[in-house]
Structure 1
Amino acid sequence: MDEKHPPASRGSTEIAQRIRAARSRAGLSRKQLAAASGASERYLATLEAGSGNPSVDMVMAIAEALNVPMAELLPLGGEQDLVVSQAAAQLRRLPPDRVREALAWLGKPGQGGGDKAQRIALVGLRGAGKTSLGKALAERVNMPFFEVSKEIEKRYGGAISLLMEINGPAALQRYEAKVLEDILGANVRAVIAAPGAIVSAGPLYDRLLAMSWTVWLEASPEDHMNRVVAQGDLRPMAGNRTAMNDLRSILAAREADYARADIRINTSAQDFAATLDVLEQAVASLV
C-alpha cells in the first residue's frame, strides 16, 4: 500500500502526531502496525515524521489496524471547529448507551459540560508513572501538581501505611475523598496523580471522572514491578512469583474501570521522554 508522497503540509503534520499518539496508546510497535495495516515500516516512519501526505485509503487502513475511528487520525477529527472536535472525540469514546445518555443530558436546559475545566487526572497502578510523568507534564503545561497520596500524608501527619494500620481502609477512603474534593474545589487547572485503588471506590472514582479529564497510564506487569522496586520497595522481591501473579490479577480486575478514563496511554511502549510527549499531545486534545 506504499505510495509516493508530496511535501508535508500542516495537515500531514497533525495526522503524524495523531498516528504516533494512537499507536502509543494501542501499545503497538511500528513494525506491528505496519504488518496490521499493510504499509511498510519505512513508509509508516515517513508518515509519523510528518514527511508525507497519506491517502484516504491509507488513513482508513491505519485506523482499522489501531482499532480507532478514522476521524481520530484527522486534524480536528475532521471538524472545522476545535470545540466541536473535542466534543465529537469524547462521544466517540463512549459506549452506545452512554452516548444516548450524553445526548439526553446535553438536551436539558442549563447543561454545559464544563465541570472538568482544565483538570488532568492520572490513574493507574503504582509504577505506571503517575508521579514522574505528572510532575513533568505539570511543568510543561504550567499547572500545579498534586499527588493525592502525598497530600493525605501531609494532612494525616504520617505515612499511609500507618494510617491503614491504625485506622483501617475506611479511614483512608475518607481522607482520599476529602483531599480530592479539596483539590478539585480549589483548582480549575491542575495535574492530579490519583491513588491506584481509586477505581475501587465507585462514587469517588465517578466524581473524579466527572470533574477531570482522566488519563489511564498503564504498563506491563514487569514494568510495574521493576519500577516499584526502583522506588526502593524491595518487598515484592521476597515472593516475586506470588507478587507477580497478584499484580496480574489486580490489573485484570481493574482494567474495565481504568478503561473508563478519557485517554489510555501505555507507558511501556516507549521511553519516558517519548511517553511524556504522547501524554502532552493527548492532554492538548482534551483541554
Structure 2
Amino acid sequence: MAEIQSVAEEGSTDVGVRLRAARAKVGMTRRQLATASGMSERYLAHIEAGTGNPTVAVLEALAGALDMAPAELLPLGGERSEARAAAAATLRRLPESRLGPLLDQMAQLGGANSSKGRRIVLLGMRGAGKSSLGKALALRLRVPFLEMSKEVEIAYGGEMRLLIELGGQSALRRYEHEAWETLIAEHESAVIATPGGIAADPVLFDRLLATAHSIWLEASPDDHMQRVMAQGDFRPMASNRGAMEDLKAILQARASEYARAEAQLDTSAQDFEGTVDRLEQMARRLIA
C-alpha cells in the first residue's frame, strides 16, 4: 500500500512540474490559467506543488486552456517508454488533415535551405529587441520588416489581447498559422519578428524553422524586464508580484526551443549599433 501511494505521489509531482512548464511556455500566470480553465487558483497551486490529485476532467480543462493535448501533462505522455512517448508527441503535433501524407510533411519540415528564401525570422522573448533590431536590420538588407503579431491583428480585425480573451489560445494559434503562411507566400525576402509565445506551438515552430533562416535574440532577465517596463507592456505579468520569477521561468521553459535557431545573439553584450552590426553579419551569412 505504501508503495502504491509513493507511485501516486510521484505521478502527481510530475504532473505539477509539467503543468508549471506548460504554463510558463505560453506565458500564462496561475491566475490567468485558473480563469481560463474554470479552476480555483488555490487548487492549481496544489496541483503544481504535487499535493493535488487532478481528475481526468481537470486535466482536460487545463490542457484545453493551454491548447495542448491532455496526455502531455502525464508522465511520458501516458506511454510506456520514452521512444513511444516521443513518437506519440510527434503525431500529436500534426493536425488530422496532415496525418495522411505524413512522410511528405516530415520531409517538408526538414527541407533544404532553398525553401527558406532570403527570409530572416527573429525569435525570442519580448524585450529582446526583435522590433527595434529587426527594423534596423531590414534597412541594411533593404528588405521589408514585418511583425507577425501585427499581421495576426490585421487578419483578425482587432487587438491580440481581444483575440486571446475571446478565442483563447486555440484561436490565437489558428490565426498565427494563417499569418505565417501568408507571409512566406508573399515575401521571398524579409525580416520578420515573431511573438515570444510562438515556441509553444510545436507544429508552427517547426514550420517556421523550415521556411525561414532563424536567429534567436536573447538578453539577460534584467534587460528583458527593463525593456518591457520601458514599453509599458505588462500583459503576461499583470498584477503579479513575482514578475521576475515568472519571466525567468518562461525563459527557461522556452530556451530549448529557441536554441534550435540557426544563430544566436546576446543583445545585452554590446550597445545597440554594435548589436545591429553583429546581427547584420549573421543575417548575411545565413542568406548568402
Q: Shorter chain as normaliser: what TM range?
A: 0.5 to 0.7
Q: CA deviation at 1:234?
A: 5.3
Q: CA deviation at 1:209?
A: 0.4
Name the structure 1 match of 2:164. Answer: 164
Question: 1:231-252, CA deviations, whole angstroms, 9 ceiling, x for partnerless residues?
Answer: 1225758545x01001101111
Residues 185-196 of structure 1: pairs in structure 2 closer than 5 A: 185-196=185-196
Name the structure 2 match of 1:178. Answer: 178
Name the structure 2 match of 1:127. Answer: 127
Name the structure 1 match of 2:216. Answer: 216
Name the structure 1 match of 2:227. Answer: 227
Distance 1:158 1:276, change over 3 A: same
Question: 1:203-227, CA deviations, whole angstroms, 9 ceiling, x for partnerless residues?
Answer: 1000110011000000011111111
Distance 1:229 1:237, change over 3 A: farther
Q: Distance in 1 between matches of 2:239 and 2:179?
A: 33
Question: 1:99-127, CA deviations, whole angstroms, 9 ceiling, x for partnerless residues?
Answer: xxxxxx8xxxxx85311110000000011
TM-score of the pair, normalised by structure 1: 0.59
The aligned length equals 177
Q: Tell me, yes or no, if structure 1 residue 265 matches structure 2 residue 251.
A: no
Q: Distance in 1 between matches of 2:157 and 2:232?
A: 21
Q: Distance in 1 between matches of 2:155 and 2:271?
A: 34
Q: Distance in 2 between matches of 1:156 and 1:201?
A: 19
Q: Distance in 2 between matches of 1:234 and 1:187?
A: 31
Percent of matched pairs sharing the same residue: 51
Residue 275 of structure 1 aligns to which amino acid in structure 2? Answer: T
Distance 1:203 1:239, change over 3 A: closer
Q: CA deviation at 1:160?
A: 0.5
Q: Distance in 2 between matches of 1:156 and 1:112?
A: 32
Q: Secondary structure at the match of 1:115?
A: helix
Q: CA deviation at 1:187?
A: 1.0
Q: CA deviation at 1:185?
A: 1.1
Could you list the runs of 4 or more consecutive aligned residues of structure 1 that deviate by over 6 angstroms after TM superposition?
none
Q: Secondary structure at the match of 1:158?
A: coil
TM-score of the pair, normalised by structure 2: 0.59
Name the structure 1 match of 2:138. Answer: 138
Q: Secondary structure at the match of 2:116?
A: coil
Distance 1:112 1:156, change over 3 A: closer
Residue 245 of structure 2 aligns to which amino acid in structure 1? Answer: N
RMSD of equivalent CA atoms: 1.6
Q: Secondary structure at the match of 2:114?
A: coil
Name the structure 2 match of 1:279. Answer: 279
Distance 1:112 1:196, change over 3 A: closer
